[in-house]
Amino acid sequence: MSTEQDPYRTRDSLLVRLGASRDDLAWEVFQEYYQKYITALLRRRAIPTDDLPDLRQEVCMNCWRAFRDGRFDHSKGRFRGWLAKVTMNAANLYFRRLQRDIRNDIAQHELADLEPDEEAPGWVEEEWRTHVMRLAWQEAQSHFTEGVMRIYKRALDGEELADIARTEGVAVNTVYVYRKRVEEALAGYIKQLEAYL
């Protein structure tokens, strides 16, 4: 992950930019990093597939309003926790609207209740770790050859290293080296993503 050319070197600067009324690039970066996480949380809440895009957009609009109005306060906790609460509240509101058969505009919903007293379910953190691992995997795929990644995945799946070496046409030591390099790279990417996101 190179941030040398990236105008959003830190999460905080991205969040500030998101509050700008016409910063389309900031929203592209936001969606690149967080859209799949929002979707994963909504899927875990059993939101129907047909309604996912609309509800994901609703979450993004709620975030934008909070940034625009200066209502996001990072001193109260991690951004991902706040984003999870925004997403969970959007899902809760979705189900309340279904139960009451209300199709009112979400604009009437205030963001003030986005900090519930109860803790987020444990699976929210599990989804975050999965999301970060997917991003790290994508980053690794852009830095290692397809063959190296294939060997690493086979080793990760528990195949015998000697079998991998024989079928891939490399020495067993090479399999060890590839596995270690990819593991170290993934750990570094995860650390960078956790710091950035």
Q: Helix 24-44 vs helix 52-68: angle between axes, to the nearest 10 degrees?
A: 130
* Dihedral of alpha carbons 186, 192, 195, 197, sign: negative
Cβ contact 92:63 at 8 Å: no
Task: Tell which phi-psi region holds residue 10, choosing left (phi > 0), alpha (psi between -120 and 50) or beta.
Answer: beta
Please tell us whether the domain made up of 7-120 is placed in CATH 3.40.718.10. Answer: no
Q: Is the pTM of this model over 0.85?
A: no
Alpha-carbon gap, residue 124 to 84, rounded angstroms: 7
Task: Tell which phi-psi region holds residue 109, choosing left (phi > 0), alpha (psi between -120 and 50) or beta.
Answer: beta
* Residue 45 pLDDT: 85
Alpha-carbon gap, residue 125 to 121, rounded angstroms: 8
Task: Please indicate whether the domains covering 7-120 and 122-197 agree at the CATH topology level.
Answer: no
Give the Å distances, CA to CA, from 36 to 17, 31, 53, 88, 148: 21, 8, 11, 15, 26
* Residue 168 pLDDT: 92
Residues of the chain with pLDDT under 70: 1-23, 98-120
What's the CATH number for 122-197?
1.10.10.10
* Dihedral of alpha carbons 137, 142, 148, 150, sign: positive
* Structural tokens at position 132: 């970060």
The residue extents of the domains of the chain are: 7-120, 122-197
